[in-house]
Amino acid sequence: MEKNTSLPNKLDLDFITQSLRGKQKTKTLKVAARCPSGHPSVIQVVPVDNDGKPFPTTLWLLCPSLVSQITHIEYSGFAKEVSEIIESDSEFKTKLHQAHLDYILLRETMLENHKYKDTLKTKGVAGSENFSAVKCLHGHFAQQLGQQNNPIGKLIQDRFSIECKTPTIQTEQN
CB 32 within 8 A of CB 43: yes
Nearest approach, Cβ of 124 to Zn ion (angstroms)? 25
Our CB check for Zn ion shows the closer of 128 and 166 to be 166
> What residues make contact with Zn ion under the rule CB under 5 A?
35, 63, 164, 166
Radius of gyration (C-alpha) of the chain in whole angstroms: 16
For residue 170, give the 3-state DSSP assignment: coil
CA angle 147, 61, 164 (to 5 degrees): 95
Nearest approach, Cβ of 57 to Zn ion (angstroms)? 18
CB 58 within 8 A of CB 108: no
Our CB check for Zn ion shows the closer of 73 and 120 to be 73
Nearest approach, Cβ of 33 to Zn ion (angstroms)? 10
Our CB check for Zn ion shows the closer of 66 and 96 to be 66
